[in-house]
């Protein structure tokens, strides 16, 4: 009956594949035009200075409320958007909206820097420098109030030094640069020295068990130390507990972000919670 079992497994497999492929296609076609239909919005999650406890920055995170699918999590639609190239217009919408929001807050006395995630594709496909210039000019937001979060893949895919050049031009605009999910990619230490990076965001996968797993603790320690040596600020992502916070404070991590402090929330909630009365 091995043959029959094999056949069943095959059928199960292809049906599963088809369902997944169908879902991706559906997400792709619905995401197209989602911004124009008003289905996208940004939520904001605070980052705090670990020493002073002060609000340091707000990370803008995309949310999609689809008329057909309901709330779709970024874990589902961002990979599809990256594969299909839709991340270019969707990411541009997010950048524009974050700058508009930050400038509207700043003009009314609530100046909080915003961090926007930029996908590797946005970096390769189009000229991010020209886009940033345009969006900053349109919104009126001072460049110093904007941080761009890039993944290590951006650094790794440096063909012929083009990336270094682009990063330098971005820095010259006055924005700051963070490496997101640090430790999960393959960037070499040499890249970190060479590229004009302001912040390393330690991936939450390493932060999760720092209080109990000696290997994760060692990795996080190393990144904090590396940041100190290279004068790059370190941020721990996904901080959920007092024990993790204590560990990070003892080791001298600069900033923290995570559910222990706040979940991502709407712009209105963010303002209500963090604007000084």
* Binding positions for ligand C2E, rule: CB under 6 A: 45, 61-62, 73-75, 78, 87, 91, 94, 117-119, 149, 180-181, 204, 237-240, 258-259, 264
Least distance (Å) between residue 10 CB and ligand C2E: 34
Least distance (Å) between residue 24 CB and ligand C2E: 16
Task: Tell me whether residue 21 or residue 86 sits nearer to Mg ion (CB atom).
Answer: 86
Task: Tell me whether residue 28 or residue 194 sits nearer to ligand C2E (CB atom).
Answer: 28
Q: Identify which of 21, 14, 24 has the alpha carbon closest to the alpha carbon of residue 69.
A: 24
- What lies within 8 Å, CB to CB, of 258 at 6+ separation is 204, 207, 236, 237, 238, 239, 240, 244
In this structure, the chain runs to a length of 277
Task: Tell me whether residue 74 or residue 194 sits nearer to ligand C2E (CB atom).
Answer: 74
Q: Identify which of 205, 188, 199 has the alpha carbon closest to the alpha carbon of residue 49.
A: 199
Least distance (Å) between residue 181 CB and Mg ion: 4
28 binds, among Mg ion, ligand C2E, none (CB under 5 to 8 A by kind): none
Least distance (Å) between residue 258 CB and Mg ion: 11
Q: Give the span between the Cα atoms of 51 and 36, in whole angstroms.
A: 42
| Contacting positions for Mg ion (CB under 5 A) | 117, 149, 180-181, 237
């Amino acid at each position: 009956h091995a043959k029959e079992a094999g056949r069943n497994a095959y059928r199960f497999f292809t049906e599963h594949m088809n369902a997944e492929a169908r879902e991706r296609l559906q997400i792709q076609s619905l995401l197209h035009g989602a911004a124009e239909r008003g289905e996208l919005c940004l939520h904001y999650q605070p980052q705090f200075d670990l020493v002073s406890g002060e609000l340091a920055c707000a990370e803008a995170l995309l949310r999609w409320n689809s008329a057909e699918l309901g709330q779709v999590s970024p874990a589902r639609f961002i990979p599809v958007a990256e594969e299909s190239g839709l991340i270019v217009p969707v990411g541009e919408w997010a950048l524009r909206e974050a700058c508009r929001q930050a400038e509207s807050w700043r003009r009314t006395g609530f100046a909080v820097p915003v961090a926007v995630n930029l996908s590797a594709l946005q970096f390769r496909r189009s000229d991010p420098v020209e886009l940033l210039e345009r969006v900053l000019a349109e919104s009126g937001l001072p460049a110093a109030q904007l941080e761009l979060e890039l993944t290590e893949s951006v650094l790794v895919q440096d063909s012929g030094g083009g990336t270094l050049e682009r990063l330098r031009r971005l820095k010259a605009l006055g924005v700051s640069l963070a490496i997101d999910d640090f430790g999960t990619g393959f960037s070499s230490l040499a890249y970190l020295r060479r590229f004009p990076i302001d912040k390393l965001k330690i991936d939450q996968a390493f932060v999760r068990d720092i209080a109990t797993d000696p290997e994760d603790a060692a990795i996080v320690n190393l990144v904090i130390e590396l940041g100190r040596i290279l004068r790059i600020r370190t941020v721990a992502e996904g901080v959920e507990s007092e024990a993790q916070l204590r560990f990070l404070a003892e080791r001298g991590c600069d900033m923290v972000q995570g559910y222990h402090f706040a979940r991502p929330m709407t712009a209105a909630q963010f303002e209500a919670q963090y604007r000084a009365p």
